[in-house]
A and B are shown apart, each in its own frame.
Chain A
Amino acid sequence: MNAIIGQPVSRVDGPAKVTGHATYAAEFDLPGLAYAAMVLATIPRGHVRSIDRAAAEAAPGVLAVMTHEDAPRLPYKQIAQRPQVDAQSGEQLHVLQDDQVRFNGEPVAVVVAETLEQAVHAAELVRVEYARSPAVTIFDAKQGRPPSEGNAKAGRVPELGRGDVEGAMREAPVQVEARYVHPREHHNAIEPHVTIAHWEGENLTLYDKTQWVDNDRKEIAHVFGMEEERIRVVSPFVGGAFGSALRTWPHVTLAVMAAKRVRRPVRLELTRRQLYMAVGFRPHSEQHLRLGADKEGRLVALEHDVIQQVGRYEEYAETALSPTSHLYQCDNLRARYRLVEMDTNSPCPMRAPGVVTGVLGLEMAMDELAAELGMDPLELRLRNYAEQDQQKGLPWSSKELRACYETAAERFGWARRKPEPRSMREGGMLIGYGMATAIYHSDRSGGSASVALTGNGMAVVRSASSDMGPGTYTSMTQVAAETLGLPVDHVRFELGDTNLPYAPVHGGSITMASLGNAVVAACRAVQTKLTSLARAAQQGPFAGLAEDAVVAREGGLGRADGSGPVVPYAELLRQHNLGWVEAEGSAQPGEETKKYSSAAFGAIFVEVRVDELLGTVRVPRMIGAYDVGRVINPKTARSQCIGGMVGGLGMALEERAEWDARFGKVMNANLAEYLVPVNADVAEMEAIFVPNDDRNFNPLGVKGLAEVAICGVAPAIANAVWHATGRRIRELPITPERLLG
């Protein structure tokens, strides 16, 4: 049998998705479904003085109006070990539990009606009077404070470094210093967040948009003080999330309360505008960098401060310092992380949280240093190549970044770049070449899977994982098919249900490194089980043979010495009168984190064309080469990479929440005014995977891919814009008015 891992298999769920038969959370059809609509606060801070609900209650079709005045008091029990997807300090929003308003957009009422139209209309009839208190709605970097202990313990440290930065900086013959601003961004997955809550007696089923069904269940169990066993969460398809569906948001609690009140299943779907307030976002950040180098371009001192906004009721923090700590060799380094409290809904992880921010500043500053040195930006990176993780003092479990630089530069034609800015043009178009490095630390977590071999020759593999787009269904099918020696179409992978074996969060690029190994273990376990059965049998081809005399291969069992035929699993099951045989397997991280530092790497090269008169920036070409360890499916992996490029393009040139400080509110809370890339913004994109197989990190050799794919894209574009125009635009996005201004 040919290898299946590494093949560009088309998505196994592709036919369901292109025919409209993939069922997303909103689409479960429950008898008696009622519809909920939220009323959100319109002030940034204060309290509710009064709520007039009479008109809403009298409106046709209305089943219930619920406010803090009559909502049940919920226990909101603490989770013993707070999940990493939650804010690590402070207290999550307790929805409808008091009259306080903590941010503009906090839910103050929920209306349930027979139809969506009736619910939406009635929600507009609820009259709320507020008493406003002074609110902090302006980001003032000077107010930055260190993250609190809970966050520091969870790796969001206030400070890290080594050596003597001040001394080294004083002596450094070449220095650059710069400040970069990156605005608040919103995930804007095309599928809105939605929950259907369905009570049957004391048991609750949630059809929810979530990247982690197991944690969703745990959170709701704690909010309501229920046993986890009474809750089932179902989420077979997720219409994009990018981090926004990692944690359980307040609207899920609202849906559960509303369903209990009206004794019917209730669907609560957020509107596009509400998504800017009711779930998180990438926080606004400002960063300040100082780089000192010797004349040969070796970094001798590096100072990096990152300051981000944070909500006031809970403290979400990021690992923004991590790339600076180990991307380049530098003996003297200090990085600091500060948070500025504001009255806003809480930020949350968005694709490569923190790291994309840190890489942005570092890689833009490296480009400025290259210009200051009169050195090629790629050469500067090579001179400072980190052969080990200097901060941790550990070797990399693998690192093929040099190959990434070489491959991508060659493919791009980097050698054609003229060093001087504004030196390449075609008619009225200024042409710029820019590059940047990408890095994202590789993590793994524990998880489990089950495999059932059935009498009709199929294998059904199950785990409570998620597939928000990267292709979990397909890649896990490949891993199982190869391990079992079955063709891809004889394997079915099921996910997105708390009834399935426990899976870790589908985020942080950890799914394959974590769960992939559990799938392998489960496949091996079922093979072992079948082998024991066959050996213990009274008769049959393997009866009475020694343990090591029987091996699994080519979709069945055979003799280790190669004699005799391979008997397919299904035939063995028939011989032993079994309908199926099933086993579970799990995988846990091992000692590798003590021995190695692990990360995925990339090198991004882009060409921009800037219209000199209009200030518009086009990106005709992007080429990335990536070291992500082993690639399970190059087709879906490429899609992730070009998707990351599109995300990075949006970050560089388009995305920005326009903030109204008077109301503490995003003004452009919709997809026409919050700009995201459209098809016509995108041209040629190429992703190359340099060969690697990181068995030091985990047995499958994968490192994770989703996050690294967005890192480095925006700085490469910004650097190319400088090369085209001679202008350093240090505040994203790089808009025409900024380029012309």
Chain B
Amino acid sequence: MPDPSQHFSLTLRVNGAEHRVAVDARTTLLDALRDRLHLTGTKKGCALGQCGACTVLLDGRRVVSCLMLAVMAEGRLVTTIEGLAQGGELHPVQAAFVEHDAFQCGYCTPGQIMSAVGAIREGRAGSDDEIREQMSGNLCRCGAYANIVAAVRDAAAREG
């Protein structure tokens, strides 16, 4: 049996930058982002794939990074919350979240925003019902859901 703590040296491509890291085979993409690359905007809520706080875009698709090993992300394009704002300008979804107060504690928020960006890009934010459904993998214990729907609706219309 191979040593589970064997280290792999790999290149992670995150937000347009390349990072060389040596990770344990068991390291999740989430932990690699947070603890190795210090990109702590991606949050850990459960590490069980249940809350959505760790959502990132992988080749443009929404994934929960706690259920993916870092080694599986080699060579793929990872976008995290830190990669959304361009030149100090908030991404429209980020701006809409602030405007509509679509959070309280803010801990679920990066995951919510990454999910929203993915859903809008995939054309799955066409109605309030569709937004609610698409965003239901992202738990918000502060209960900001009604404002999240308003923010996503608004951002989808602006990006339209």
**What are the interface flags for B62-80 relative to A under an 8 Å C-beta threshold, 1 for contact and 0 otherwise?**
0000000000000000001
Q: Which residues of chain B in 75-130 are interfacial with respect to chain A, using CB atoms and an 8 Å cutoff?
A: 80-82, 84-85, 90, 94-95, 97-99, 101, 103-110, 113
A15 in contact with B90 given A238-B105, A670-B48, A676-B139 (CB within 8 Å): yes
A189 in contact with B107 given A115-B24, A117-B24, A643-B142 (CB within 8 Å): yes
Assess whether B109 is in contact with A17, with CB atoms less than 8 Å apart. yes
Assess whether B146 is in contact with A682, with CB atoms less than 8 Å apart. yes
Which residue of chain A has its CB nearest to the CB of B45?
Answer: A190
Which residue of chain B has its CB nearest to the CB of A267?
Answer: B35
Assess whether B144 is in contact with A190, with CB atoms less than 8 Å apart. no
User: In the bound complex, how far is the Cα of B113 from the Cα of A26, in angstroms?
Assistant: 21
A11 at the interface (CB under 8 A from B): yes
A636 at the interface (CB under 8 A from B): yes
User: In the bound complex, how far is the Cα of B103 from the Cα of A19, in angstroms?
Assistant: 13
B43 at the interface (CB under 8 A from A): yes
User: In the bound complex, how far is the Cα of B35 from the Cα of A678, in angstroms?
Assistant: 29
Residues in A neighbouring B44, C-beta threshold 8 A: 26, 192, 269
Assess whether B41 is in contact with A21, with CB atoms less than 8 Å apart. yes
A240 in contact with B142 given A20-B40, A191-B45 (CB within 8 Å): yes
User: In the bound complex, how far is the Cα of B31 from the Cα of A685, in angstroms?
Assistant: 36
Which residue of chain A has its CB nearest to the CB of B134?
Answer: A679
A691 at the interface (CB under 8 A from B): no
Assess whether B136 is in contact with A670, with CB atoms less than 8 Å apart. no
User: In the bound complex, how far is the Cα of B40 from the Cα of A16, in angstroms?
Assistant: 12
Which residue of chain A has its CB nearest to the CB of B82?
Answer: A20
Assess whether B101 is in contact with A11, with CB atoms less than 8 Å apart. yes
Assess whether B35 is in contact with A469, with CB atoms less than 8 Å apart. no
Assess whether A470 is in contact with B136, with CB atoms less than 8 Å apart. no
A116 at the interface (CB under 8 A from B): yes
Which residue of chain B has its CB nearest to the CB of A122?
Answer: B5
Assess whether B104 is in contact with A117, with CB atoms less than 8 Å apart. no
A640 at the interface (CB under 8 A from B): yes
Which residue of chain A has its CB nearest to the CB of B98?
Answer: A14
Assess whether A643 is in contact with B48, with CB atoms less than 8 Å apart. no
Assess whether A640 is in contact with B132, with CB atoms less than 8 Å apart. no
User: In the bound complex, how far is the Cα of B23 from the Cα of A61, in angstroms?
Assistant: 13
Assess whether A18 is in contact with B98, with CB atoms less than 8 Å apart. yes
Q: Which of B108, B110, B143 has its CB near the most chain A CB atoms (within 10 A)?
A: B143
**What are the interface flags for A188-211 relative to B under an 8 Å C-beta threshold, 1 for contact and 0 otherwise?**
111110000000000000000000
Assess whether B104 is in contact with A640, with CB atoms less than 8 Å apart. yes
Set A23, A188, A468: member contacting B105, Cβ < 8 A: A468
Assess whether B135 is in contact with A190, with CB atoms less than 8 Å apart. no
Residues in B neighbouring A19, C-beta threshold 8 A: 41, 81-82, 84-85, 90, 94
Assess whether A29 is in contact with B38, with CB atoms less than 8 Å apart. yes
A671 in contact with B48 given A240-B142, A469-B142, A679-B138 (CB within 8 Å): yes
Set A18, A190, A684: member contacting B139, Cβ < 8 A: A190
Which residue of chain B has its CB nearest to the CB of A687?
Answer: B146
Assess whether B38 is in contact with A17, with CB atoms less than 8 Å apart. no
Which of A453-461, A589-597, A644-652 has 4 or more CB atoms under 8 Å from chain B? Answer: A644-652
Residues in A neighbouring B11, C-beta threshold 8 A: none
B34 at the interface (CB under 8 A from A): yes
Chain B nearest CB: distance from A647 CB in Å?
Answer: 6
Assess whether A17 is in contact with B103, with CB atoms less than 8 Å apart. yes
Assess whether B148 is in contact with A679, with CB atoms less than 8 Å apart. yes
Chain B nearest CB: distance from A414 CB in Å?
Answer: 21
Chain A nearest CB: distance from B143 CB in Å?
Answer: 3
Residues in A neighbouring B47, C-beta threshold 8 A: 271-272
A237 at the interface (CB under 8 A from B): yes
Residues in B neighbouring A16, C-beta threshold 8 A: 106
B53 at the interface (CB under 8 A from A): yes
Q: Which residues of chain A in 217-242 are interfacial with respect to chain B, using CB atoms and an 8 Å cutoff?
A: 237-242
Set A191, A640, A679: member contacting B149, Cβ < 8 A: A679
A501 at the interface (CB under 8 A from B): no
A646 in contact with B105 given A14-B98, A671-B50 (CB within 8 Å): no
> Which range holds the interface residue count of chain A?
35 or more
A417 at the interface (CB under 8 A from B): no
Chain B nearest CB: distance from A238 CB in Å?
Answer: 6
Which residue of chain B has its CB nearest to the CB of A115?
Answer: B24
Q: Which residues of chain B in 135-156 are interfacial with respect to chain A, using CB atoms and an 8 Å cutoff?
A: 135-149
User: In the bound complex, how far is the Cα of B108 from the Cα of A399, in angstroms?
Assistant: 36
A118 at the interface (CB under 8 A from B): yes
Assess whether A240 is in contact with B40, with CB atoms less than 8 Å apart. no
Interface of A is mostly: loop
Q: Which of B43, B95, B133 has its CB near the most chain A CB atoms (within 10 A)?
A: B43
User: In the bound complex, how far is the Cα of B39 from the Cα of A18, in angstroms?
Assistant: 14
**What are the interface flags for A446-478 relative to B under an 8 Å C-beta threshold, 1 for contact and 0 otherwise?**
000000000000000000000011110000000
A635 at the interface (CB under 8 A from B): yes
A684 in contact with B98 given A239-B107, A678-B139 (CB within 8 Å): no
A10 in contact with B45 given A18-B90, A20-B40, A118-B24 (CB within 8 Å): no
User: In the bound complex, how far is the Cα of B132 from the Cα of A237, in angstroms?
Assistant: 27
Residues in B neighbouring A681, C-beta threshold 8 A: 145
Chain A nearest CB: distance from B77 CB in Å?
Answer: 18
A190 in contact with B90 given A678-B139, A679-B138 (CB within 8 Å): no
Assess whether A10 is in contact with B110, with CB atoms less than 8 Å apart. no
Residues in A neighbouring B19, C-beta threshold 8 A: none
Residues in A neighbouring B84, C-beta threshold 8 A: 19
Assess whether B106 is in contact with A470, with CB atoms less than 8 Å apart. no
Set A20, A115, A116, A188: member contacting B141, Cβ < 8 A: A188
A80 at the interface (CB under 8 A from B): no
Chain B nearest CB: distance from A619 CB in Å?
Answer: 12
Which residue of chain A has its CB nearest to the CB of B38?
Answer: A29
Chain B nearest CB: distance from A532 CB in Å?
Answer: 40
Chain B nearest CB: distance from A708 CB in Å?
Answer: 15
**What are the interface flags for A662-685 relative to B under an 8 Å C-beta threshold, 1 for contact and 0 otherwise?**
000000001110001111111111
Assess whether A645 is in contact with B5, with CB atoms less than 8 Å apart. no
Q: Which residues of chain A in 465-524 are interfacial with respect to chain B, using CB atoms and an 8 Å cutoff?
A: 468-471
Q: Which residues of chain B in 1-52 are interfacial with respect to chain A, using CB atoms and an 8 Å cutoff?
A: 3-5, 24, 26-27, 31, 34-35, 38-48, 50-51
User: In the bound complex, how far is the Cα of B142 from the Cα of A469, in angstroms?
Assistant: 7
Which residue of chain B has its CB nearest to the CB of A59?
Answer: B5
Chain B nearest CB: distance from A28 CB in Å?
Answer: 9
Residues in A neighbouring B140, C-beta threshold 8 A: 190, 646, 679
Chain A nearest CB: distance from B146 CB in Å?
Answer: 5
Assess whether B135 is in contact with A679, with CB atoms less than 8 Å apart. yes
Assess whether B50 is in contact with A117, with CB atoms less than 8 Å apart. no
Residues in A neighbouring B138, C-beta threshold 8 A: 679
User: In the bound complex, how far is the Cα of B133 from the Cα of A24, in angstroms?
Assistant: 29
Chain A nearest CB: distance from B10 CB in Å?
Answer: 15
Set A29, A60, A237, A682: member contacting B106, Cβ < 8 A: A237
Q: A17-B106, A670-B48 are in contact. List 14 more A-B contacts (CB 8 A).
A: A11-B101, A14-B101, A17-B103, A19-B85, A29-B38, A115-B27, A117-B5, A117-B27, A190-B45, A240-B107, A639-B142, A640-B104, A645-B143, A685-B146
Please list 21 pairs of residues, one from A and one from B, whose beta carbons are closer than 8 Å in the complex, sorted by A's number: A10-B98, A10-B99, A14-B98, A18-B95, A18-B110, A20-B42, A26-B44, A118-B5, A121-B4, A192-B46, A239-B107, A468-B105, A469-B105, A469-B106, A635-B101, A636-B104, A643-B104, A671-B50, A672-B50, A679-B131, A685-B146
Nearest first, the 10 A-B pairs at minimum CB distance are A20-B41, A646-B143, A239-B107, A17-B106, A469-B104, A643-B143, A469-B105, A20-B81, A14-B98, A27-B40
